Amino acid sequence: MRHKILIARAVFPDVIERLERHFEVESNQDDRIFSGSELMEKLRDKDGLFSTLSERITAAVIAASPKLKAVCNMAVGYNNIELDAATGAGVMVTNTPDVLNETTADFAWALLMATARRVTEAEHWLRAGKWEKWRYDGFLGADLHGSTLGIIGMGRIGQAIARRSTGFNMRVIYHNRSRLAADLETHANQAQYVSREELLRTADHVMLALPYSPQMHHTIGAAELALMKPTATLVNIARGGIVDDAALIAALRDHRIASAGLDVFENEPAFNAGFLTLSNVVLTPHIASASEATRRAMADCAADNLIAALSGAQPPNLLNPEAGRKE
Ligand code: GLV
């Protein structure tokens, strides 16, 4: 009998066609967001789930899905999945690492440049018909070239961000759970390992590229923002929840830091509306990996993982080998 799978959100049609060659597929091209109870209902008879970062795969969802053998997330982050509960229930979990590193790093730079040089703020002003004359002090921002870039979270994406800084002649400092091997530091524009406190005090531009975990909740809060230079920018392409958004709004409002560029938010898409009252923040809707080629690669990677998991092979991006294999 063919395995049954659920594709939780809309995805490229050819990926669905490919999965249909292997499985009985329930898809969701209307792209409705399922409630927790709808998800449980739909997963009752499913062997596999193709998920995205929008679905919360909790211990309760896993417990309500007796046949579920694999959850294959179309994202590198997997904080939407209770991994321990999945492992305990013998459910394999996979993510999509590597395929998005370069695209995400490109976008981190887009956001950093837009933030430091006030691109969207200036564009809104122009569109509002306010451009009557050139001014010597119009939209003065911060330089990137020659400045110090501080990266918190120096995994593969953090390193890709660092590599791009050579063209700007920047000094790179970083903080990470552990120090990188010397050759990786060299390759990441001679990045120097520093404490988080030193990074926050020293960097002109602070970039967050660390994975979310409950231990990392509000890693950047009022105390950390207070350490930053009043001229500094903060860019978050990692996950909502790493920054205390209310504290950031207060810091931006009081000009305790210069500006922020945010692709991720607490409780997204229902983010804190306080950001909308500020002109010194650039806001994007979680699109750092959103190039055509990369989103396709992510979808293909999640499909590869699901096909491998349900055909008895080792999924290429298995996060919990200790889960074993459920019959
Ligand atoms: C995007 O945020 C991802 O985790 O892939």
Q: Is the CB of 75 under 6 A from ligand 1?
A: yes
Mutate to test the pocket of ligand 1, among 9, 72, 76 (most ligand atoms within 8 A of CB): 76
The pLDDT of residue 1 is 83
- pLDDT of residue 327 exceeding 80, the answer is no
How far, CA to CA in Å, does 229 sit from each of 134, 137, 257, 258?
Answer: 29, 21, 6, 8
139-151: per-residue pLDDT in tens? Answer: 999 999 999 999 9
The pLDDT of residue 316 is 98
Query: Ligand 1: which residue has its CA nearest to atom 4?
Result: 77
Q: CA-CA distance, 306 to 320, in Å (whole number)?
A: 14
Query: How open is the CA angle 111-117-118, to the nearest 5 degrees?
Result: 80
Q: Is the CB of 289 under 6 A from ligand 1?
A: yes
Q: In the chain, where does DSSP find H-type helix? A: 13-20, 36-43, 59-63, 83-88, 101-116, 119-127, 156-163, 182-187, 196-202, 222-227, 245-253, 292-310
Q: Are 165 and 189 in contact (CB under 8 A)?
A: yes
Q: 């990786």: which residue's tokens?
A: 184
List the catalytic residues. Answer: 239, 268, 286
Tokens for 241, please give them.
């929840």
Q: Which domains does the chain have, with CATH numbers?
A: 4-97+292-310 (3.40.50.720), 101-283 (3.40.50.720)
DSSP 220: B
Mutate to test the pocket of ligand 1, among 104, 111, 291, 319 (most ligand atoms within 8 A of CB): 104
Nearest atom within ligand 1 for CA of residue 298: 5
79-122: per-residue pLDDT in tens? Answer: 999 999 999 999 999 999 999 999 999 999 999 999 999 999 99
Rounded mean pLDDT of 25-51?
97
Q: Is the CB of 73 under 6 A from ligand 1?
A: no
Furthest-apart CA atoms within the chain: distance in Å: 72
For residue 71, the CA-to-ligand 1 centroid distance in Å is 15
Rounded mean pLDDT of 270-285?
98
